[in-house]
Amino acid sequence: MTEPTSPLQEFEQKLADEYGKWKAKAVIMVGNARAFNVGDPVPVSHVTQYHYDEQDLVEPADAAEPASSEPAAPQPAAVPVPPAAQPVQPVPAQEPSEG
């Protein structure tokens, strides 16, 4: 019979599953924010939601490192961002009433 795992071990396994599959091949920007640098682990949920794999922005985490001794210069990647909420329209100024 196997012993049940602790909540901490379950949590650590979920983290490993989420962050252990993909790593960034390029700098990944989300909107104006830098989300991932080259070589950073990228969560599976981001790869699935934003299709980073289809955009060639990620590679499997177990992929071999490049043979070059000098790291490649990171190139920012354009990532589509969901449209923002509609901008608020200004309210026209009203003429003061005499009264």
Strand partners, 22: 42, 60
Question: Is the pTM above the cut of 0.75?
Answer: no
pLDDT along the chain (99 residues), means of 10: 73 91 94 92 94 94 65 64 61 72
- Res 1: pLDDT: 45
For residues 78 and 50, what is the distance between their CA atoms, to the nearest angstrom?
11
For residues 69 and 81, what is the distance between their CA atoms, to the nearest angstrom?
34
11-36 exposure pattern, b = at least 16 Cβ within 10 A, e = fewer: eeeeeeeebebbbbbbbbeeeeeebb
Residue 91 in tokens: 């309210």
